[in-house]
C-alpha cells in the first residue's frame, strides 16, 4: 500500500487557491441531504461543526463532556499566531510558513504548512468578528507579543486565557447553529468505533455515558476532532479525560497512524509531588523571558534555594547555550532539565525539578513590573504549590504537553479511510517533529473554519455518498464488537483499578519513550507493555454495569486503548533512529552531545497500518520533498 498526499501541483503560494477552485462544490439543495458527523467539540470540532452547518449541511456533533464548552483547547494560555504583520516587523505568510517548517525540524509537508500560514490571518478576523476580546493597545488596535523564541511579534492573546476565549468564540458560533436546528448536539456521548463499509467511513457507534445506550449514527462523512494522546504518559498537562480512543479505534479500522512517537515535552510545568498525582500543570513558557534556570552545582545539595550562594549554582542553560540561554527551544530546555535531575542535581523533596528564579529580574525591574507581567501565573503557582515565587524560586520540570503525531491525512485532511476526516491535534499534518508555541490554536481553527469546509465538499460532490442504513450488516457487526469489549471489561472482575494500569503504563512510556530514547530502552518497553496489557485483561476491576452512568467503565475502555497504543508509539520510536524535533535518540548525536537529524534516511512520514493486536503493523513511508526551503541544521549555541 502507498499513501498519496494529494498535494496540488503548482507554485507553493498558489496551491491552496488553485485547489479551492478545482474542488467540486455541493449544490446548496444537496447540502441539506448530506449529514456530517463531527466527533469532538474543541477548537477544531466546534469550528468545523459551526461552519459546516452555516454552509447548509446537517451536522451531528458529539462530545463526551457535559457541554461543548469544556474541551481541553480551553486551557491553552499563551496565544495564537497569525501572519498579520501588524507590528511592521517583517512578518509575512512566507516567514510564518518558514518558521513553522523549521520549528518542526523539517518533518512536515511544505504545502500543508504554507496553507496554515495563509489562512492564519482569516482566523484573527473571524474571531474578532465573533467578539473574542483579544488584548488591545491604547489606540484600540490589537496587541501582539513575541512568543516561543520567534523573532517577530505575531502572537495574539487574551490575557492568559487565549484558548478559553477562542474556544468560547467557536462555542458561541456552534450554539447559534444549534439554536437554528442546523447542528444536533450530542453531549455525554462517547465514540466507541468507526463503521467502515465498502472501504468508506459510513458512521460511528457511540455510548451514551448517562444511560449506557449503544447507538449507531450514519453519515455522509465522519470527522474526528478528538485531540491528542499525551495522556499515554498518565501524567501530562492534558485534561484528565483526554484519550486516544477515537483515533486509535479508527486506526484499528484501517486508518494509518502517522508519527506516533512525535510528542512535545513542555519544559515549564509544576513538578509531581507523589504517586497520587493526577496531572501536571503547565506554566506559560513566557516565564522563561525573565526567569533564570539553575540547579545546585553539587549533586544532592538539599539546602533551601536562597541559602545556596551564587557560585554554587549551575545556570546550565546559560552555560551550554550562551546565545539563547534560558530561552533555548522547548526540547533542549526539557532534555537538559531531565539530564541534570538524572545526574542527582534535581531540587525539591522528590529530586524531580529545577529552579526557575526571578530574584535577578525582580532586582533589575522591580517587583511591580514582574507582577504586571506574570502576576496571574505567580498566583496560579502559589495556589498549587503553596510557595511564593516572589520570595523563593519556582520549581519546574518538563511534562508531556502536545502530540504532533496523529492519524495520517492527505492535503484534504482525509485519512486513509475515504470519508474519514481528521482535524486539529488528532491529525499529524502541520507540526512535523515539533510544534512552535502558539501554533496549536492556529491549526485547530484553520482546519475547522477554513480548510475542512472546502475539502469535505469535494469528497461529498465527487463520491455522491449515500447515507447508509444503520440496520445494515456493517453497523450491526461493529456495534456487536463494541459491546463485546464492554462485556469483556465488565467480566474480568479483577482486583486493580484501571488507573493503576494507566499509571504503570505511564511510567514505562516516560522512562523509555519520553524525550530521550534509545534502542535498549525501547525494546524493554516493547516487552513490558504487552505484559502489562495481559495483566490488565486478567486483573482489572470494573464494577457496575453498562446500563447506567459508570465512570469506571469509561476510564477502563480508554486505558485499554492506551495499553495497545503505547506499543505503537514505542515501535515508531524504535524505527526512527534519528534525533529530531521534540525527541532525542541517544544513538544519534553530535560529538558535542546535540541532537543529530538524519535527513538522508528519515525525511519521511512514518504511517502505520494496523494488522492485528499482537501483530507488527505495516510501516508505510510518505517521502517529504522540500522544494522551497533548504534543510538547515538548528543551532542554538
Residues 172-191 that bind another protein (CB under 8 A): 172-173, 175-176, 178-179, 185, 187
Other CB atoms within 10 A of residue 595 CB: 22
Burial class (CB in 10 A: 0-12, 13-18, 19+), 172: middle
**Closest CB to another protein among residues 242, 255:** 242
Beta bridge partners of 35: 58
Taking a C-beta distance cutoff of 8 angstroms, is the pair 573, 261 a contact?
A: yes
Grid cell digits, residue 161: 486565557
Burial class (CB in 10 A: 0-12, 13-18, 19+), 548: exposed
Q: Is 141 in the site for another protein (CB under 8 A)?
A: yes
Question: Which parts of 303-362 interact with another protein (CB under 8 A)?
Answer: none
Site size with another protein, rule: CB under 8 A: 86
| Chosen residue from 6, 24, 32, 159 binding another protein by CB under 8 A | 159
Taking a C-beta distance cutoff of 8 angstroms, is the pair 224, 420 a contact?
A: yes
Q: Is 51 in the site for another protein (CB under 8 A)?
A: yes
Grid cell digits, residue 414: 482525509
Q: Is 134 in the site for another protein (CB under 8 A)?
A: yes
Closest to 71 measured CA to CA, from 145, 222, 174: 174
Min dist CB 385 to another protein, Å, is: 8
Q: What is the contact mask toward another protein in residues 403 to 442, using x (rule: CB under 8 A)?
A: ----------------------------------------
Grid cell digits, residue 89: 516587523
| Cβ-proximal residues to 480 (8 Å cutoff; 6+ apart), any chain | none
| Chosen residue from 19, 35, 72, 266 binding another protein by CB under 8 A | 72
Q: Is 549 in the site for another protein (CB under 8 A)?
A: yes
Question: Which parts of 479-498 interact with another protein (CB under 8 A)?
Answer: 493, 495-498
Element (H, E) at 474: helix 473-492
Q: Is 520 in the site for another protein (CB under 8 A)?
A: no
Q: Is 21 in the site for another protein (CB under 8 A)?
A: no
Instruction: Please identify, among the stretches 71-79, 107-115, 299-307, 581-589, the one whose residues bind another protein according to the rule CB under 8 A.
Output: 71-79
**Closest CB to another protein among residues 166, 573:** 166
Question: Which parts of 377-406 interact with another protein (CB under 8 A)?
Answer: 380, 383-386
| Chosen residue from 125, 342, 469, 587 binding another protein by CB under 8 A | 125
Q: Alpha-carbon distance 152 to 146, whole Å?
A: 6
Q: Is 376 in the site for another protein (CB under 8 A)?
A: no
**3-class SS letters over 39-63:** ECCCHHHHHHHHHHHHHCCEEEEEC
Min dist CB 388 to another protein, Å, is: 14
Q: Is 9 in the site for another protein (CB under 8 A)?
A: no
Q: Is 153 in the site for another protein (CB under 8 A)?
A: no
* 69 counts as catalytic: no
Active-site position among 107, 330, 435, 585:
330
Instruction: Please identify, among the stretches 235-243, 504-512, 519-527, 624-632, the one whose residues bind another protein according to the rule CB under 8 A.
Output: 235-243
Q: What is the contact mask toward another protein in residues 77 to 106, using x (rule: CB under 8 A)?
A: -------x-x--------------------
Q: Is 239 in the site for another protein (CB under 8 A)?
A: yes
| Chosen residue from 140, 304, 309, 612 binding another protein by CB under 8 A | 140
Q: Is 586 in the site for another protein (CB under 8 A)?
A: no
Closest to 35 measured CA to CA, from 44, 43, 26: 26
**Closest CB to another protein among residues 289, 541:** 541
Grid cell digits, residue 298: 553539587
| Chosen residue from 449, 459, 584, 602 binding another protein by CB under 8 A | 449
Closest to 508 measured CA to CA, from 158, 234, 160: 234
**Closest CB to another protein among residues 176, 609:** 176
**Closest CB to another protein among residues 226, 336:** 226
**Closest CB to another protein among residues 68, 260:** 68
Closest to 419 measured CA to CA, from 602, 581, 585, 195: 195
Q: Is 274 in the site for another protein (CB under 8 A)?
A: yes
Min dist CB 553 to another protein, Å, is: 10
Burial class (CB in 10 A: 0-12, 13-18, 19+), 405: buried
CA–chain centroid gap for 602, Å, is 22
The answer for 103, left when phi > 0, alpha when psi is -120 to 50, beta otherwise, is alpha
Instruction: Please identify, among the stretches 270-278, 403-411, 456-464, 469-477, the one whose residues bind another protein according to the rule CB under 8 A.
Output: 270-278
| Chosen residue from 6, 10, 32, 133 binding another protein by CB under 8 A | 133
Angle between helix 43-55 and helix 162-179 axes, rounded to 10 deg = 30
Min dist CB 164 to another protein, Å, is: 6
Beta bridge partners of 402: 264
The answer for 212, left when phi > 0, alpha when psi is -120 to 50, beta otherwise, is left
| Chosen residue from 40, 45, 68, 457 binding another protein by CB under 8 A | 68
Q: Alpha-carbon distance 630 to 102, whole Å?
A: 9
**307-332: buried (b, 16+ CB within 10 Å) or exposed (e) per residue?**
ebeeeebbbbbbebbeebbbebbbbb
Question: Which parts of 596-635 interact with another protein (CB under 8 A)?
Answer: none
Instruction: Please identify, among the stretches 392-400, 427-435, 545-553, 586-594, the one whose residues bind another protein according to the rule CB under 8 A.
Output: 545-553
CA trace torsion 127, 26, 186, 466 (10° rounding): -160
Task: Just list the catalytic residues.
Answer: 330
Amino acid at each position: 500500500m502507498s499513501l498519496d498526499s494529494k498535494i496540488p501541483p503548482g507554485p507553493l503560494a498558489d496551491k491552496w487557491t488553485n485547489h479551492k477552485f478545482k474542488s467540486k462544490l455541493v449544490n446548496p439543495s444537496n447540502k441539506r441531504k448530506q449529514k456530517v458527523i463531527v466527533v469532538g467539540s474543541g477548537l477544531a470540532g466546534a469550528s468545523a461543526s459551526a461552519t459546516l452547518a452555516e454552509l447548509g449541511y446537517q451536522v451531528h456533533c458529539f462530545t463526551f463532556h457535559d457541554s461543548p464548552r469544556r474541551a481541553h483547547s480551553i486551557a491553552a494560555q499563551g496565544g495564537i499566531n497569525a501572519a498579520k504583520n501588524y507590528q511592521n516587523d517583517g512578518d509575512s505568510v512566507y516567514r510564518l510558513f518558514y518558521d513553522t517548517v523549521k520549528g518542526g525540524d523539517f518533518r512536515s509537508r511544505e504545502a500543508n504548512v504554507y496553507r496554515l500560514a495563509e489562512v492564519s490571518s482569516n482566523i484573527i478576523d473571524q474571531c474578532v468578528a465573533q467578539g473574542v476580546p483579544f488584548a488591545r493597545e491604547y489606540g484600540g488596535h490589537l496587541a501582539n507579543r513575541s512568543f516561543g523564541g520567534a523573532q517577530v511579534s505575531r502572537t495574539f492573546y487574551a490575557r492568559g486565557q487565549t484558548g478559553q476565549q477562542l474556544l468560547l468564540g467557536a462555542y458561541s458560533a456552534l450554539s447559534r447553529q444549534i439554536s437554528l436546528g442546523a447542528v444536533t448536539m450530542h453531549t455525554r456521548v462517547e465514540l466507541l468505533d468507526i463503521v467502515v463499509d465498502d472501504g468508506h467511513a459510513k458512521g460511528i457507534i457511540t455510548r451514551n455515558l448517562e444511560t449506557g445506550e449503544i447507538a449507531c449514527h450514519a453519515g455522509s462523512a465522519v470527522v474526528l476532532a478528538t485531540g491528542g494522546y499525551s495522556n499515554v504518559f498518565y501524567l501530562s498537562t492534558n485534561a484528565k479525560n483526554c484519550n486516544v480512543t477515537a483515533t486509535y479505534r479508527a486506526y484499528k479500522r484501517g486508518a494509518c497512524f502517522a508519527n506516533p512517537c512525535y510528542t512535545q515535552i513542555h519544559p515549564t510545568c509544576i513538578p509531581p509531588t507523589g504517586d497520587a498525582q493526577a496531572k501536571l500543570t503547565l506554566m506559560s513558557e513566557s516565564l522563561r523571558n525573565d526567569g533564570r534556570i539553575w540547579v545546585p552545582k553539587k549533586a544532592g545539595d538539599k539546602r533551601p534555594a536562597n541559602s545556596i550562594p551564587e557560585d554554587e549554582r549551575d545556570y546550565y542553560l546559560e552555560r551550554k547555550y550562551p546565545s539563547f540561554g534560558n530561552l533555548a527551544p522547548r526540547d533542549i530546555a526539557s532534555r537538559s532539565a531531565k539530564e541534570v535531575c538524572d545526574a542527582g542535581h534535581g531540587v525539591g523533596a522528590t529530586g524531580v525539578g529545577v529552579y526557575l528564579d526571578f530574584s535577578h529580574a525582580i532586582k533589575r525591574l522591580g517587583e511591580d513590573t514582574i507582577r504586571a507581567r506574570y502576576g496571574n501565573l505567580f498566583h496560579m503557582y502559589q495556589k498549587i504549590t503553596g510557595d511564593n515565587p516572589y520570595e523563593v524560586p519556582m520549581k519546574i520540570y518538563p511534562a508531556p504537553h502536545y502530540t504532533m503525531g496523529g492519524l495520517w491525512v492527505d492535503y484534504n485532511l482525509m485519512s486513509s479511510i475515504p470519508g474519514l476526516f481528521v482535524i486539529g491535534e488528532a491529525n499529524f499534518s502541520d507540526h512535523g517533529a515539533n510544534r512552535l508555541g502558539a501554533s496549536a490554536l492556529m491549526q485547530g481553527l484553520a482546519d475547522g473554519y477554513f480548510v475542512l469546509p472546502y475539502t469535505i465538499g469535494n469528497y461529498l460532490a465527487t463520491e455522491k455518498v449515500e447515507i447508509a442504513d444503520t440496520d445494515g450488516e456493517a453497523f450491526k457487526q461493529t456495534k456487536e464488537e463494541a459491546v463485546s469489549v464492554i462485556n469483556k471489561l465488565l467480566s474480568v472482575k479483577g482486583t486493580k483499578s484501571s488507573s493503576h494500569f494507566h499509571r504503570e503504563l505511564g511510567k514505562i512510556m516516560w522512562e523509555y519513550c519520553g524525550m530521550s530514547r534509545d534502542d535498549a530502552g525501547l525494546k524493554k518497553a516493547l516487552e513490558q507493555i504487552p505484559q502489562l496489557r495481559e495483566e490488565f485483561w486478567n486483573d482489572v476491576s470494573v464494577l457496575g454495569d453498562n446500563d447506567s452512568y459508570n465512570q469506571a467503565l469509561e476510564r477502563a475502555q480508554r486505558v485499554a486503548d492506551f495499553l495497545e497504543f503505547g506499543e505503537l508509539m514505542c515501535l515508531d520510536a524504535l524505527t526512527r533512529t534519528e534525533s529530531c524535533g521534540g525527541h532525542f535518540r541517544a544513538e544519534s548525536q553530535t560529538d558535542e552531545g546535540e541532537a543529530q537529524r538524519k535527513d538522508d534516511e528519515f525525511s519521511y512520514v512514518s504511517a502505520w497500518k494496523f494488522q492485528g493486536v499482537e501483530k507488527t503493523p505495516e510501516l508505510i513511508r510518505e517521502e517529504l520533498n522540500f522544494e522551497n526551503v533548504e534543510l538547515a541544521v538548528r543551532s542554538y549555541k
